Structure 1
Amino acid sequence: MYRRYSAALVGVVGMVGALVAVPPVVVEESVPQVAWAACPEDVVVPPSVQVRCARVPVPLDYRDPDGTQIELMVSRIASTKPAKRRGVLMFNPGGPGGTGLDQPGFLVGRGLPSSVVDAYDLIGMDTRGVGHSSPVSCGFTVEGGYWGNIPPYAADDAAVTAQAGIAEEVAARCAATDTEGRLRHLTTANTARDLNRIRAALGEEKASFYGASYGSALGAAYASMFPDTTDRIVLDSNIGDTHLDRDGLRRYALGMEQTFPDFARWAAARHGSYGLGRTPQQVRRTYLTIAERLDGTPAPDGLTGAMFRAVTFASLYHEVQYGNLARTWQSYLDPGDAQPLSATAATPHPGDNALTVFLAVTCNDVEWPEGVATYRRAVAEDRERYPLYGAASANILPCAFWRYAPTEPPVTVNDKGPRNVLILQNRRDPVTPYAGGTLLREKFGQRARLVTADESGHGVYVLGNNACAVNVTTAYLVEGAMPAKDTACRRG
């Protein structure tokens, strides 16, 4: 997820038939126009920004378009320059499971260029199952032992087996709480269909889209399923396909290996302040020393080696977090006498909704291997290949025990259509490494251009540091100036 750097770690902090291809056709005449009103109080926007919200009904199951309907909530920051207005620009901040109603306001507050704000009505949304859009829940609690989007680091085979037990229990709990039968309909393909339905409800012939992290997969699916009604598409920090699968999850470990040296150089240059190592190699050894010690003996405050690794991984999302990460490491060089963690029994998990949506979409989009032995082998391989984090991202998810089979194949990237997909990618990104950008560029072929920023962290546009990449993206969104060829942007 793009704007909340730790969102990939929310929580650290029955079969339904054969695969059926579902046509993307939506009968637009049946889509009611939206009625804008005040947004819920928890939609946070900067002062002086006018945001309104509305509800859009969509089918729970697009195979039965006249059946059960659910409501999606969307937000709008309307262009105040009619002469400059091009249309609507829809946003997705990632996840899956991330709330997006406040995403346009957040980006405006962080400096989204006024030329973009003038050119579009900025449309945020909670996607199906999220927040104010018919939310779902597996009933996660703080004490439940489920980590969230990325499994815990497995120090040995026994740790994989233990995590498999937790994963199986989570899958069973999600199925048991799904009394309204909604979870099986949370897929990237259905969310892309929702985007097209929202476009129609807004009265627009076409819609532009900006998606980051998982939002890149959603945007890739949207542009592939609806090439004729998508306008300008920007995909930032890319998973590499239209869905997150096991290979994509395992690439997190590659991303950490590629990004960690940036923090190591930063910390080595500040050894006099933090004492983590005089060279990047020494900083790396410090990381492994702390993690391995905590594997054997958790800290007095309850921190384990797996938690320490997860905190470090999440802190690589952006350089502004390096100082806090370094201070955290200091505390575990000499952990002192911190008190053990405690919690009230069955405390509701603050990330329950996001965790549930992540699992539903990820597990429903594609078949995952079921045998625990498959994950044991992968963890052993990646522990050696990617020592920093491989034994986490290769570990087992509840998808291995998910009770619902995919109802259709994952969306195939469609390379036939207009040249309207701009792909943004940092060279070093812990969660969506550079390989994801190049994979998606290859799949889209001549429909796309790749902008590579020689930067570190998760997110290129607006929150990134690269002037070249920001300028190229703004020129595309405002003027339609797609680069003639793939573009490499120097650092800064």
Structure 2
Amino acid sequence: MKQITRNASLIAASAVLLGLTVPLTASAAQPPASGPPPLKWTTCEGTGLDPRQRCATVEVPMDYSDPDGRTIKIAISRIPSEKPSARRGALLLIPGGPGGDSLGDPSGKGQKLPQKVRDAYDLVGFAPRGMAPSTAVDCKLDPADLGMTKLLPWPAPDGSVTESMATARRTAGACVRNGGELIRHISTANEARDLDRVRAALGERKISAWGVSYGTYVGAVYSQLFPHRTDRIVLDSNNNPDHTRVTRGWLAAFETGVEDNFPEFAAWASRPGNPHRVARTPAEVRSGFLSLAARLDREPLPWPGANPPRLDGNALRQTMLTSLYDPDDYPVLARTILAARKGTVPPVPEAPPESVLQNVAAVGVGTICNDVDWPASAAEYQKGVDESRARYPLTAGMPRGPMVCAAWPFAPREPAVRITGRGPSNVLLVQNERDVATPLSGALKLRQALGGRAVMVTVNSTGHDAYLANGNACGDRTVSRFLAGGKRPGSDVRCA
């Protein structure tokens, strides 16, 4: 789930599922006995890419229960090992989301990997099914429904979910009309099956992976479906794998994630000498934020160019949520608070092109609605929102609100994959203690589910994405040693 809010991905829309099929198994995703055709590597499109990076496409079934039926294309990228004599295999860079892609990652974050890791692996990125330039989907949502306070189910100022339910019905309807057949087949399990086709197309007997955020769930599902195809697996910023809730559980986790992280912002925002200081004490930062959000609920400020074009309480709360992903973004929230107190507004945050938002939203819809069934009862969501607002005022009930899947008219085609400890012991989890999107409490659930397959490195750090990002040197060294040389701690450790 790489930064669910930044990708606008947890939010997106709905899909069409025609009928029920027999649950799929791992064996259904195996490539044909004759093997895949050789890949045709070409120059990658885009700017700022490493000249060594090359791109190709892999053909996969759209519907794995009909492997001889219609096919779709998965775009992949690769930078080869920098030392062929030290090459171990391929390292798959699994993006967050749902709605993210890693096509540029071999040229980007992959180049932050230590030299020994870059020597040991070809770095491989991809665009998941539905994401351009793979065969893409689009729900053609009304542009007003692409705003973040629409995409995430922020309740009305009085806590009502009526408007959120209406947005869910509108979004679901657009995806049913416009999403095409492919959106019915977008799911985490199918992404994992696609990755095994990519592995085979690369000519690898086994594959290593570095999955981040939602990518940790993809990596865990791949390791469950294809345990003996896995080499060294790093899962970074981990989701609770509860197969009965999946994204519903991840959304609910924002309650604890914000409470884990807001004290860090409050300490920073009250520090003497900070040019963005908003209060004298951490307690005043919190109370001031809640008071300002309530005032903006009553008296929103015009915010020309924003979507929607007003700075209301939910826009402030969304800014808070987004800014807690990375301590480097704390000034964004502080500047918004300081401006709103004066009755002014900050610059409008830069947004991706509408075509990108539409694509991300559609992939998010397919994933979250096809993975698991969501309740349809507004009363059930209202009860949860009311309880959440009372216990977790910073998030104002949003984590238990109705997303688009509340209006999803079709049942999932198969049960969500249940993560277990069956398989080789070759997984390393790395997790920051204070992570707003994938809290430590959820990561511990994944650790428990994997049992003896995994070891966990808990990092005393703040922010989403641990390895080579918001973690610390101890955690980075531990992961690098595992990837480069296979050295994994004998038991769970904490990097202080």
What TM-score comes out, normalization by structure 2 length? 0.91
Structure 2 counterpart of 1:61: 63
Letter in 2 for 1:444: L
Q: Secondary structure at 1:238's aligned position in 2?
A: coil
Q: Would you say 1:331 and 2:339 are equivalent positions?
A: yes
Letter in 1 for 2:426: N
Structure 1 counterpart of 2:485: 479
Q: Would you say 1:124 and 2:121 are equivalent positions?
A: no
Structure 2 counterpart of 1:344: none
Distance 1:78 1:466, change over 3 A: same
Q: Secondary structure at 1:233's aligned position in 2?
A: strand
Task: State the distance in 1 between where 2:242 and 2:100 align.
Answer: 17
Q: Is the 8 A contact 1:153 1:393 kept in 2?
A: no
Letter in 2 for 1:324: V
Q: Is the 8 A contact 1:213 1:236 kept in 2?
A: yes
Which of 354, 361, 375 is residue 369 of structure 1 equivalent to? 375
Q: Where in structure 2 are the equivalents of 1:57-456 lying within 5 Å?
A: 57-109=59-111, 111-144=112-145, 147=148, 150-158=152-160, 160-179=161-180, 181-241=181-241, 244-270=246-272, 273-301=275-303, 302-336=310-344, 348=354, 350-456=356-462
Task: State the distance in 2 between where 1:81 and 1:202 align.
Answer: 18
Distance 1:304 1:337, change over 3 A: closer
TM-superposed deviation, 1:41: 2.3
Letter in 1 for 2:358: D
TM-superposed deviation, 1:11: 8.6
131-140 or 24-33, larger mean C-alpha shift: 24-33
Structure 2 counterpart of 1:27: 31
What TM-score comes out, normalization by structure 1 length? 0.92
Structure 2 counterpart of 1:39: 44
TM-superposed deviation, 1:391: 1.1
Q: Could you list the per-position Cα deviations for residues 442-484 of structure 1 after superposition, in whole angstroms to 9, with x for gaps in the alignment?
A: 0000001111001110011011241111011001111111210
Task: State the distance in 2 between where 1:414 and 1:293 align.
Answer: 47
Distance 1:349 1:278, change over 3 A: farther
Q: Could you list the per-position Cα deviations for residues 204-232 of structure 1 after superposition, in whole angstroms to 9, with x for gaps in the alignment?
A: 00001111110011000000000011111
Q: Secondary structure at 2:197's aligned position in 1?
A: helix
Q: Could you list the per-position Cα deviations for residues 276-321 of structure 1 after superposition, in whole angstroms to 9, with x for gaps in the alignment?
A: 1111100001111111111111112211111110011101111111
Task: State the distance in 2 between where 1:390 and 1:415 align.
Answer: 37
Q: Is the 8 A contact 2:426 2:454 kept in 1?
A: yes
Q: Is the 8 A contact 2:132 2:359 kept in 1?
A: yes
Distance 1:314 1:35, change over 3 A: same
TM-superposed deviation, 1:27: 3.0
Letter in 1 for 2:363: V
Letter in 2 for 1:70: I
Distance 1:194 1:270, change over 3 A: farther
Q: Is the 8 A contact 1:271 1:277 kept in 2?
A: no
Q: Is the 8 A contact 2:81 2:121 kept in 1?
A: yes
TM-superposed deviation, 1:385: 1.4
Distance 1:319 1:100, change over 3 A: same
TM-superposed deviation, 1:49: 5.0
Task: State the distance in 2 between where 1:417 and 1:350 align.
Answer: 38
Q: Secondary structure at 2:253's aligned position in 1?
A: helix
Task: State the distance in 2 between where 1:5 and 1:121 align.
Answer: 30
Task: State the distance in 2 between where 1:269 and 1:404 align.
Answer: 51
Same amino acid, percent of matched pairs: 39
Task: State the distance in 1 between where 2:46 and 2:31 align.
Answer: 33
Task: State the distance in 2 between where 1:394 and 1:105 align.
Answer: 38
Task: State the distance in 2 between where 1:479 and 1:251 align.
Answer: 34
Give aligned pairs, total: 479
Distance 1:16 1:279, change over 3 A: same
Q: Is the 8 A contact 2:271 2:277 kept in 1?
A: no
TM-superposed deviation, 1:274: 3.2
Task: State the distance in 2 between where 1:390 and 1:340 align.
Answer: 23
Letter in 2 for 1:51: Q
Distance 1:141 1:50, change over 3 A: farther
Distance 1:478 1:126, change over 3 A: same
Quote the RMSD (CA, aligned, Å).
Answer: 2.4
Distance 1:154 1:116, change over 3 A: farther
Q: Is the 8 A contact 2:136 2:359 kept in 1?
A: yes
Distance 1:420 1:396, change over 3 A: same
- Unaligned ranges ≥5, structure 1: 342-346
Q: Is the 8 A contact 2:420 2:451 kept in 1?
A: no
Task: State the distance in 2 between where 1:269 and 1:340 align.
Answer: 26
386-395 or 243-252, larger mean C-alpha shift: 243-252
Structure 1 counterpart of 2:6: 6
Letter in 2 for 1:281: A
Q: Secondary structure at 2:234's aligned position in 1?
A: strand
Letter in 2 for 1:316: L
TM-superposed deviation, 1:185: 0.3
Q: Secondary structure at 1:329's aligned position in 2?
A: helix
Letter in 2 for 1:136: V
Letter in 1 for 2:441: A
Task: State the distance in 2 between where 1:339 and 1:450 align.
Answer: 40
Task: State the distance in 2 between where 1:228 and 1:424 align.
Answer: 22
